[in-house]
Amino acid sequence: MGIRHLPDHLINQIAAGEVIERPAAALKELLENSIDAGATQIEIDLREGGKTLIAVRDNGCGMSRDDLSLALDRHATSKLSDEDLFNIRFLGFRGEALPSIASIARVKIASRQNGVGEAWEITAADGQKSQVRPSQQAQGTYVEIRDLFYATPARLKFLKTANAEYAAAKETVQRLALVNPGIAFRLSHNGATSLHYPVLSDLYDRQSKTRLDQVIGSDFTTNALPIDAQRGMASLQGFISIPTYNRGTAQNQYIFVNGRAVKDKFLYGAVRAAYQDVLARDRYPVVALFLTLASEDVDVNVHPAKAEVRFRDNASVRGLIVSSLLHAIRGASLQANSGLGQSVVSHFQMPPAQVFNYQRDYTQNASVYGNLAEPVASFYQPGMDIAPSARFEAVAPNPEAVNYPLGSARAQLHENYIVAQTDSGIIIVDQHAAHERLVYEKFKKHLNDNKIPKQGLLTPEIINLDDTEAALLLENKIQLENLGLDIEAFGMGAVAVRTIPALLTGRVDIGMLVRDIVDELKEQAVSTLLEEKMNALLSTLACHGSVRSGRRLSAEEMNALLRQMEETPSSGQCNHGRPTFVSLSLKDIEKLFSRR
Ligand code: ADP
Ligand code: MG
């Protein structure tokens, strides 16, 4: 068999294989087209998760009769006018989506161009376009995809259940809705409306906050810190959750680059690095971040579905993200998770039915409770009937300290919980968690202010890498040295490690550490591994070096701990993202007694 050109239809199917892996991907392409067309209203209809129908109606600029026929041709686009791949101002630019989809599904497009009287439509099936025919269609465009993958049965088998496909499609709508707060979105599934994000005002800032509330929930926005940073031509806006508001997956990390929803490992890595000190490795913050760069500083033409991007200057993008997030996190050390007080209250509250039963039992079955006077009296004699561990000593409030954010210590309960009174509520501090954080911060500060102590190795450890890896590592020689890791070139493709951070002596496999650092450098241009390893160790040391629960504290000690917490960055959570204190407002407490 000689070499031959593949038929167009097959080429389109191959392209579709890359870009359209599931209904959500086809939907993303249609939505991006509507956004590119300047629509302010987009309506989406799905059946069976998009497997049998994906329909998108927009009120954008529409297409002329000629354009309509071209839209289904391969590499035909209206979006690359100046033929410059590094100046892309639209979400689309390849002219591939519609012909690819038309090669694997039945497609209908109806459109009326802005300011034109008549509307037109075209259909395609089996890769064959129909003639353009007159149509009934208001201004804008309607695209309908039926029976996706019917032409490629092998692909059809890879689809998940309708519900799973629907979930992915819905997420696609939500991501695009977040970054387009000026567009109203409506999504229906099997005939029922499932999402509706109206546009409420034309004030862009207010609308984008509203959209965050609509999409992620007001729970997030009340527990979020605003980000607004600029570095050179790059800027970063958005919101990030306080560390104690975290999730078990990265699902709720919405990151956008120049208006494009991306799922980029490099960007997720930068977010993780910013939180590494306040969150356990398996916990994830919720973020909505909008990164804006000059279009020539970012290459969007690296991923067929445009889900990943490349930056001209990785290190500076990472720097912008890490430093602005860190700044926000550190500045917010004392913001308590608003949900925590609520959840404390809900634990206290008994279900109404039970309260009722309890009262009835209580009156009907007086014998069970016997003489009330007795148990009541025992309450007023501390220590008589109360387990020793529950004993506490009350301290008179210090009138000045009440005005501090964490208030004035009033008591220690169960030898671990400090109860403090503020001007508007109660604070409960986990003394062990809090002290651990303080010790940890102190260790870190010490390391920052002083040179990191190194431990020389008796015989240098030789690590064999390939030559590009060795070169990459040596490019970062100075940074690594500052962290206590001295390396030198050792012939072709090998390095010699001469010192390691003293802290890590005997605790790491040096070869493995260096190889991991290389991997990280390859992936994200910067390595934070060494720092993270040391921080992890410090945090273990801090745990051992801090006040254990079970230790009695005097009033002075308790108040000193509160004051230190107020002064220490990030003291609101331990190193794993668990809170070090909760606050109950008087309002919360009133709720407990059904006063509200
Ligand atoms: P691309 O978006 O990369 O240009 P597509 O295959 O997605 O490629 O679309 C081809 C062309 O069809 C677009 O360049 C645009 O001119 C036109 N088009 C597609 N969808 C719409 C729409 N909803 N409104 C107006 N024009 C559209
Ligand atoms: Mg497109």
Lowest mean pLDDT among 10-24, 264-278, 369-383, 485-499: 369-383
Q: Highest mean pLDDT: which of 409-418, 499-508, 544-553?
A: 409-418
The DSSP line for 436-469 is HHHHHHHHHHHHHHSPPPEEEEEEEEEEE--HHH
Sort strands 417-422 and 133-135 into parallel, antiparallel or unpaired.
Answer: unpaired
- Ligand 1 centroid to Cα of residue 166, in Å, is 24
Query: DSSP letter at 546?
Result: S
* Distant-in-sequence, close-in-space partners of 346: CB < 8 Å, separation ≥ 6: none
State the average pLDDT over residues 319-339: 82
Share of the chain above pLDDT 70, in %: 86
Sort strands 486-489 and 454-464 into parallel, antiparallel or unpaired.
Answer: unpaired
Q: What pLDDT score does 14 carry? A: 82
Q: What pLDDT score does 143 carry? A: 98
Q: What pLDDT score does 393 carry? A: 57
Nearest-5° Cα angle at 470, 469 to 474: 120
With the most atoms of ligand 1 within 8 angstroms of its CB, the residue from 31, 35, 36 to mutate is 36
Distances (CA, A) of 55 to 124, 190, 436: 15, 12, 55
Q: What pLDDT score does 232 carry? A: 86
* Distant-in-sequence, close-in-space partners of 285: CB < 8 Å, separation ≥ 6: 240, 241, 243, 245, 246, 247, 253, 271, 275, 279
How far is Cα 24 from Cα 169, in angstroms, rounded to an integer? 4
Q: List phi, psi (to 5°) of 354.
A: -65, -40
Contact present, 266 and 521 (Cβ < 8 Å): no
- Taken in order 401, 405, 407, 413, is the CA torsion positive or negative? negative
With the most atoms of ligand 1 within 8 angstroms of its CB, the residue from 65, 72, 98, 129 to mutate is 98
Does the Cβ of 573 fall within 6 Å of ligand 1? no
Residue 119 has pLDDT above 50, yes or no: yes
Lowest mean pLDDT among 62-71, 110-119, 122-131, 331-340: 331-340
Q: What pLDDT score does 343 carry? A: 67
How far is Cα 460 from Cα 486, in angstroms, rounded to an integer? 10
Average of per-residue pLDDT values in the chain:
83
Q: What pLDDT score does 373 carry? A: 31
pLDDT 10s digits, 202-228: 677 778 889 999 999 888 998 999 999
The DSSP line for 270-330 is HHHHHHTTTS-TT-EE-EEEEEE--GGGEE-TTSTTS---EES-HHHHHHHHHHHHHHHHH
Residue 361 has pLDDT above 80, yes or no: no
Amino acid at 346: S
Query: DSSP letter at 394?
Result: B
Q: What pLDDT score does 364 carry? A: 35
How far is Cα 587 from Cα 341, in angstroms, rounded to an integer? 10
Does the Cβ of 63 fall within 6 Å of ligand 1? yes
Counting atoms of ligand 1 from 1, which one is nearest the CA of 93? 3
Does the Cβ of 98 fall within 6 Å of ligand 1? yes
Q: What pLDDT score does 366 carry? A: 34
- Ligand 2 centroid to Cα of residue 358, in Å, is 64
Does the Cβ of 58 fall within 6 Å of ligand 1? yes
How far is Cα 71 from Cα 141, in angstroms, rounded to an integer? 12
Lowest mean pLDDT among 56-60, 408-412, 585-589: 585-589
Residue 121 has pLDDT above 90, yes or no: yes
Exposed, middle or buried, 409 (CB in 10 Å: 0-12/13-18/19+)? buried
**Contacts for 397-404 with beta carbons within 8 Å, 24 or more apart?**
397/421, 398/559, 401/559, 401/562, 404/562, 404/563, 404/566
Q: Count the neighbouring beta carbons within 10 Å of the beta carbon of residue 2.
A: 3
Instruction: Dig out the tokens for 39 from the structure.
Output: 């629509």
Q: What pLDDT score does 344 carry? A: 67
User: Where would I find the H helices in 113-203?
Assistant: 153-156, 162-179
SS3 (DSSP) at 594: coil
Does the Cβ of 71 fall within 6 Å of ligand 1? yes
Amino acid at 206: R
- Ligand 2 centroid to Cα of residue 90, in Å, is 9
Question: E-assigned strands of 341-452?
Answer: 408-413, 417-422, 425-430
Contact present, 501 and 530 (Cβ < 8 Å): yes
Instruction: Dig out the tokens for 503 from the structure.
Output: 């802290």
- Taken in order 508, 494, 462, 484, is the CA torsion positive or negative? negative
How far is Cα 24 from Cα 12, in angstroms, rounded to an integer? 19
Lowest mean pLDDT among 122-126, 148-152, 263-267, 365-369: 365-369
Ligand nearest to the CA of 101: 1
Counting atoms of ligand 1 from 1, which one is nearest the CA of 58? 23
With left for phi above 0 and alpha for psi between -120 and 50, is residue 391 left, alpha or beta?
beta
Ligand nearest to the CA of 109: 1
Confidence band, pLDDT 50/70/90 cuts, at residue 596: low
Q: What pLDDT score does 274 carry? A: 92
* Distant-in-sequence, close-in-space partners of 326: CB < 8 Å, separation ≥ 6: 274
Does the Cβ of 92 fall within 6 Å of ligand 1? yes
pTM above 0.85, yes or no: no
Contact present, 393 and 552 (Cβ < 8 Å): no
Lowest mean pLDDT among 30-39, 176-185, 489-498, 544-553: 544-553
Contact present, 310 and 252 (Cβ < 8 Å): no
Contact present, 104 and 122 (Cβ < 8 Å): no
Lowest mean pLDDT among 75-84, 295-304, 489-498: 75-84
Strand partners, 192: 189
Q: What pLDDT score does 574 carry? A: 80
Q: What pLDDT score does 548 carry? A: 67
Packing angle between helix 204-215 and helix 162-179, nearest 10 degrees? 160
How far is Cα 412 from Cα 431, in angstroms, rounded to an integer? 9
CB-side neighbour CA atoms (13 Å) of 493: 5
Pick the more confident residue, 362 or 531.
531
Query: DSSP letter at 64?
Result: -
Amino acid at 315: A
Q: What pLDDT score does 220 carry? A: 92
Instruction: Dig out the tokens for 157 from the structure.
Output: 């088998």
User: Where would I find the H helices in 127-227?
Assistant: 153-156, 162-179, 204-215, 218-222
Which residue's CA is the nearest one to ligand 1's atom 14?
77
- Ligand 2 centroid to Cα of residue 33, in Å, is 5
Residue 88 has pLDDT above 70, yes or no: yes
State the average pLDDT over residues 186-211: 88
Pick the more confident residue, 171 or 441.
171
Packing angle between helix 97-104 and helix 8-19, nearest 10 degrees? 100
Q: What pLDDT score does 572 carry? A: 84
| Cα 445–chain centre separation | 28
- Residue carrying structure tokens 């490795």: 281
Instruction: Dig out the tokens for 430 from the structure.
Output: 């986990």
Contact present, 111 and 63 (Cβ < 8 Å): yes
Q: What pLDDT score does 239 carry? A: 95
Confidence band, pLDDT 50/70/90 cuts, at residue 467: confident
State the average pLDDT over residues 113-134: 92
Pick the more confident residue, 114 or 76.
114
